[in-house]
Structure 1
Amino acid sequence: MEIGVVLPVYNQRPQYIYECIKSLESQLFRNFQLVIVIDGANTETGKAVKKASKMLTIPYEIIFRNENKGIAYSLNQGFSHLNDCRFLTWVSSDNRHDPKFLQTLYEHLVNAPEETVLVYSLFKLIDQNGKNRVNDEIRRKKLEDFMSRNKADILQQNFIGASFLFKQSAYDKAGGYDSKFEKVEDYEFWIRLLRIGEIKFIAHFLMEYRLNGEHAYTTITQPEDIRIKSIAASHYHHMKQGNTPKVTVMTRFYNQRKNIRQAIESVLNQTLQDFQLIVIDDGSTDNPWEEILQYNDTRIIPVKIENGGKARALNIGLKFALGEYILELDGDDWLEHDTLETIVSGMSKQLDDVDLSLGDRKIYPNTKLK
C-alpha cells in the first residue's frame, strides 16, 4: 500500500465515528490501508467502531487495547503495522475528510522535490453538530498567511494543523511520536521531523476539524494547558539545540494592543541581537494575538494565558527563559535601541556576586516612539 492511515480512538460519540470512517471509505484514492487503534475506550465506543468499520472496502485492521495509553503510544503502535507503506498520516475520530483528502496530499508529496518530507493543507472548522463555524473564504487569507511559513518557524508556533501526509522514512528517522508530550505530540513531532527535510503547504481545504466535541481533548483540556505544553515542547528543543541567548526579554500585555508593535519592535531593533523575547498575552480582551503572530521570528515565544495578573504571567514566562540575563519590559513601554548592549556590557564588568543592575528611564506622557 502507498499510504498508511492510523485512527486512534478513545471514548467518542458513535455518530462522529461513523462520519469519520465514512469519509475514509469515500476517498477517491484507494491505495491505502487503515489501522484503527481502540485505546482503552468504553464499550459503546468499541461497538461503534466495529459497526462503522463494516462499511470499509479498503484493507483495515482493528487493534483493541483495554488500557488507555494516549495518542502518541497509539500512533506508534498503529504505524508499526504499516511498515510497508511509503507515506503515513493519522486522523481523529471526530473529524471528516474530503473525498480528495488522500489523493491531493499524495499527488503533492510524490511530485515534490525529493527532500520534501511533509505536505499539509488548509482545514475547515465545524461545530459539534457538523456545521461550519466560520465563513471559510473569509478565513482563508489569514489562515494561508499563518500556515505558509518557513519550517524554522515551527519553534515559534505550530502552523501545520490537522491535514497532512509525511514520508515513512522521515518518521523512522525522527524516531516516531513521544509520549512525554501527550496532548501536543504532533507539534513536538513536527519539530523533529522538520529537521530532516522540507515541507510544502497546499492551499486547499481537505478536511473538517471538529471543535467542542464532548470528548475532544480541546474540550476536556483547558486551552491554556495545551498552549503551555506547546511552549514547553519548543523550550525543550531550544535547550537541546543549545539556543541560549545572552538576554531574555519578557513583556506582558493586558489590553494594550495599541502598544504591542512599539514594544516588540523596540526589542527587535536592538544593537545587541542575541536575545529571546517572551511575549505574554495575559488574557486580554482587545485581541492582541493577531498583532503578536505577525512577527515570524523564532526568537519570539508567544504565550497566551488566562488573565491572572502580572506576577503570575511573569512567573510563567520565567519557566521558558533561556537567556543568561533577564529584562522585564512593561507592555506600554519600549527600549532605547542600545539598551540590551548597555546592560550586558555593564553586568559583564561587575563582580560575580552582583545579580541585579538598575538603569534610569525617561517618562513620555501619552506619546509614541518616533
Structure 2
Amino acid sequence: MHSDTLVSIIIPCYNDAQYILQSVNSALNQTYPNKEVIVVDDGSNAETKAVLKKLAPKITKLITQENQGQSTARNVGIKEAKGEYILVLDSDDYFEPTFCEKAVAIFESRKEVKIISSFVNRVIDDKIAHVFKPYGGNIKPFLSNNQATGSCMILKSDFLNVNGYDEKMRKGFEDWEFYIRLLKDGGEAFVIQEPLFNYRLRNDSTTSKANKIKYDLLKYIYMKHQDLYKANYELFISHLLNRIEREETEKIKNTHRLEFKIGKTILKPFRWVKSVVK
C-alpha cells in the first residue's frame, strides 16, 4: 500500500440534522487527498433527510435504508467502500483535517497496527470540555475496557476477516466488541498523541444510553468471548475486583456528601438561633 491508497470515510447517520453537515465537512476537508465519503442514512427523520439531500452532491455515495442500528449501518457502508483504509465516523462527531494523513502514514510504517485513533476533544455545547486520552495497546487491555474511540481507522481486509460489527449489538459497546475480535489473534491499537477527534457529549447519545444498561452489555461481551477471558483469568478477575472496589469507594463518597448536605441543612436553623441568643 502507498500514500495514494484510497481512504473510505463511512458516516452512519440517524436523526442528526443538527450535526451531520459538520461531520461530513470534516471528512471532505481531510488533507489526505485520495478519499471517498459514504453516508448511510439509517432511517432518519424528514428533517435529517432534507439535510442529507443537500449534501448528496458533495459526497461519493448516499445509502438509504430502514432503521437497523449503527452496527448494520457501518457494515453496509464499509462493504460498499472501495478503499483499503476505512475511517468510521459518527454523524455527530468530527475529525481535525490532518487525521487521515497522519493515520495512513502510521499504517504504512507499522505493520502490526490494526486500529488507529487519537486523543479526543470532548465537546459540550460546541466548546471543548476536556481532552480524553485512550491508551491503545494489544488485546489484553481491551479485555478490561475499550482503549480506543468508536470513530477510528482500520483496514478493510481486517474488517472482512472478522465479519464486521456485531449486528445484534444495537444498544452500544459494539465498537469495543469489534476491536476485541480485531486484536484477539495479534496486532495493536495505535493512539496518535494529539486531539484530532472531536466527540460530542450528549445526554441522548448512544454511549449515554449504553451506560444505563452497561451490565447487560458487559455480560454479552464476556459470554461471547469467554474463551479469551478464561485464557486471561487472573487479569480479568483483577479487573473485576478493581471495578467493584472503585464503585464501592465512589458510593461511600457520595453517601458522605449527601449526609453532609442533609446535616448542614438540618443544623442551619439551630446555628441561627444560637447566634441570635449570643
What amino acid sits opposite 1:208 in the alignment? N
Does structure 1 retain, via aligned residues, the 8 Å contact 2:10–2:78? Answer: yes
Q: How does 1:141-290 map to 2 (within 5 A)?
A: 143=133, 146-182=134-170, 183-199=172-188, 200-212=190-202, 214=204, 216-219=205-208, 221=209, 223-225=211-213, 227-241=214-228, 243=230, 276-277=237-238, 278-279=240-241, 280=244, 281-282=247-248, 284-285=250-251
The unaligned stretches of length 5 or more in structure 2 are 255-278
| Alignment-derived partner of residue 8 in structure 1 | 12
| Alignment-derived partner of residue 17 in structure 1 | 20
Residues 213/21 of structure 1: CA separation in 2 closer, same or farther (3 Å cut): farther
What amino acid sits opposite 1:79 in the alignment? I
Q: Distance in 2 between matches of 1:179 and 1:287?
A: 39
Does structure 2 retain, via aligned residues, the 8 Å contact 1:2–1:86? Answer: yes
TM-score normalised over the length of structure 2: 0.78
Q: Distance in 2 between matches of 1:6 and 1:53?
A: 14
Q: Distance in 1 between matches of 2:72 and 2:232?
A: 34
Q: Does 1:42 align with 2:56?
A: no
Could you tell me how far 1:234 is from its partner in structure 2? 3.5
Q: What secondary structure is seen at the aligned counterpart in 2 of 1:204?
A: strand
Q: What is the root-mean-square deviation of aligned Cα atoms in Å?
A: 2.6
| Alignment-derived partner of residue 80 in structure 1 | 79
Could you tell me how far 1:209 is from its partner in structure 2? 0.3
Could you tell me how far 1:285 is from its partner in structure 2? 4.8
Residues 108/41 of structure 1: CA separation in 2 closer, same or farther (3 Å cut): same
What amino acid sits opposite 1:102 in the alignment? C
Does structure 2 retain, via aligned residues, the 8 Å contact 1:116–1:197? Answer: no
Q: What secondary structure is seen at the aligned counterpart in 2 of 1:180?
A: coil
CA deviation map 1:76-122 (0-9, x unaligned): 1111111x31111210111121010211111111111x232222211
Of Structure 1 and Structure 2, the greater helix share is in 2
Does structure 2 retain, via aligned residues, the 8 Å contact 1:7–1:92? Answer: yes
Q: What secondary structure is seen at the aligned counterpart in 2 of 1:161?
A: coil
Q: Distance in 1 between matches of 2:152 and 2:253?
A: 29
TM-score normalised over the length of structure 1: 0.60
Does structure 2 retain, via aligned residues, the 8 Å contact 1:16–1:94? Answer: yes
By relative contact order (CA 8 Å, sep 6+), the higher-ranking structure is: 2
Q: Which runs of 4+ in 1 moved over 6 A?
A: none
Aligned length: 243
Could you tell me how far 1:52 is from its partner in structure 2? 3.2
Could you tell me how far 1:245 is from its partner in structure 2? 8.6
CA deviation map 1:144-197 (0-9, x unaligned): xx5144432111111111342111111111111111222111111000001243
Of residues 123, 126, 141, the one that matches 1:126 is 123
Could you tell me how far 1:131 is from its partner in structure 2? 0.7
| Alignment-derived partner of residue 342 in structure 1 | none
The unaligned stretches of length 5 or more in structure 1 are 247-272, 289-370
What amino acid sits opposite 2:100 in the alignment? L
Q: What's the % identity of the aligned pairs?
A: 23
Could you tell me how far 1:20 is from its partner in structure 2? 0.9
Could you tell me how far 1:22 is from its partner in structure 2? 1.5
Residues 275/104 of structure 1: CA separation in 2 closer, same or farther (3 Å cut): closer
Q: Distance in 1 between matches of 2:141 and 2:48?
A: 38
